[in-house]
Chain A
């Protein structure tokens, strides 16, 4: 009996050793994503994109001659599950992890991967993800501050507005974005004629807008959500205010157009573009491949930012000719203008994404979006 157990143990050890030998001929990328649950379609998109990229690499002879493998772990978008994924993927000896989708789940697994010396790239936009000093972490989506910088540039440099009115609401998101946009407009040397708040959901913004009208602005910027943004736009037109409307990313929702009605036409929304609107040839060809492989489009832009994170890591491995995470990280920290699916891509020394993927879209008469800045 005892002998049998020993035999099994020895066999297992031998097999284990064999597996390790085989692993030397391959490199494993982990996916940590909400594959089930509330954000399931986002999580599945990330897994599909990573598997597609791995297949494309293998068709070209792998990564530095090694076969690229993918293991996925479902964190359900929950922090508790994310910690388990952290251990699971670490135990499977992954080289790099793509994900997760939510900032909360990413924050939960970050320290585990950092200790295990594993590279990680995520789209989470919460500012604090890059503020812990994890040298192997790279954010692949632009944070809220990048949106503000782009907005400032659009309002002051691109459109040359002379009199800018800025409205926010009291939510932490809209207030933060509004303040960041104000700072960015001032930095660009823009002239802010009004800076105020509305109470989200109060429906009547006429008193604020009437005051704004007396300041005679040429643009009104609103950092809050579509349900208020649509009404602000409609009441702006009803009051006969002759100013352009520019809204932050939370205004991009079909309801904005419904609420604003005819007034929606001509309003501009600043956001990262939807996958099918990306102008870059790399993105178009990847979308075709994705569509051919899965018979659908990626669920959102974040599928592609995560794909960009993986591609940047792959690029770094190829350039440094090394699988040493710290070599790869050093290269990534100095990466600039890598042609990503979601625009030129680079990382600063905190692992923050550089290179804006933001665009300004104008709402057309038929409700569709047309990119107005940057011009293609």
Chain B
């Protein structure tokens, strides 16, 4: 039982990170019907910005650990949000009315561009986060161990997801986002500045992704330039499981994916972990082709 609870804790932590990153995929898809393949790499960019800030500030020893963490997260969010907007302007906006396939190719190109840029700026090596910045307090319940880092990751993720949910569903601008997702032309006729909505999505998604990416960094205390691929893929799967285009779906998908892969790795086989996760994806899509909370596509046609 305690082993099971420990697997749940592990899965929940990873799942919240997947969920944060998945939100970026799902928001962009919701508005543009575009899979932003560069999103995983934007999240990794966040991890590297945070790494640089933490290493620099920890090295100088001028600031207390809490401040270092806050500054690292704030800067990571700012830089990655700007990168997201730049991405929108350079890689996607010129192709807004082109064939959808062109935009997908552009997204793949952007992904490689960011990944290789990170490699050139930082290095192809695995980089480590400095020790002692995140609190290493742990809580024991029987033999179940929960670290303060895990609690922070899960708690902050939930708060951010709740905030996003409220923003999209309860505010005026959120309504504009939802309207643009349903029908851009109709939204435009209602006086909504759809371009502004798209830019906002390319700020919110990458900002959340940057937090997710930096969570990965501080949780595992390492960052590699090419890890965006695997985290991007998992988050993308999470978005699809939950129903791509649907914000609560991405949250549920991320958590489910984290829990499921943790349990599969722990109880069935860590060799087959990835295969089992993909199996789950296929199974869910067979039963519910639009994902767990996915919109019924027929309604939109």
Contacts and interface: CB of A to CB of B under 8 A. Distances in A.
Given A204-B10, A206-B10, A207-B266, A255 B126 contact: yes
Contacts of A211: 3, 266-267
B261 interface: yes
A37 interface: no
A281 interface: no
A255 B224 CA distance: 13
Contact of B140 (A201, A203, A240, A255): A240
A262 interface: yes
A170 B222 contact: no
Contacts of A196: 269-271
A204 B271 CA distance: 13
B131 A261 contact: yes
B289 interface: no
A203 B131 contact: no
- State the main secondary structure of chain A at its contact with B: helix
B227 to A, nearest CB: 7
Given A203-B222, A207-B10, A207-B265, A238 B138 contact: yes
A139 interface: no
A231 B266 CA distance: 17
A240 B146 CA distance: 10
Q: How large is the interface on A (under 10, 10 to 19, 20 to 34, 35 or more residues)?
A: 20 to 34
Interface of B: 2-3, 6-7, 10-11, 14, 125-126, 128, 131, 138, 140, 143, 145, 147, 216, 220-222, 224, 227, 230, 261-267, 269-271, 273-274
Interface of A: 170, 196-199, 201-204, 206-208, 210-211, 213-214, 227, 231, 234, 238-240, 255, 258-259, 261-262
Given A208-B265, A213-B3, A227-B126, 14 more contacts: A196-B269, A203-B220, A204-B10, A207-B263, A207-B273, A210-B3, A210-B6, A211-B266, A211-B267, A214-B2, A239-B6, A239-B145, A255-B126, A259-B128
13 contacts: A201-B224, A204-B220, A210-B3, A210-B6, A210-B10, A211-B3, A211-B266, A213-B3, A213-B143, A227-B126, A258-B128, A259-B128, A261-B131
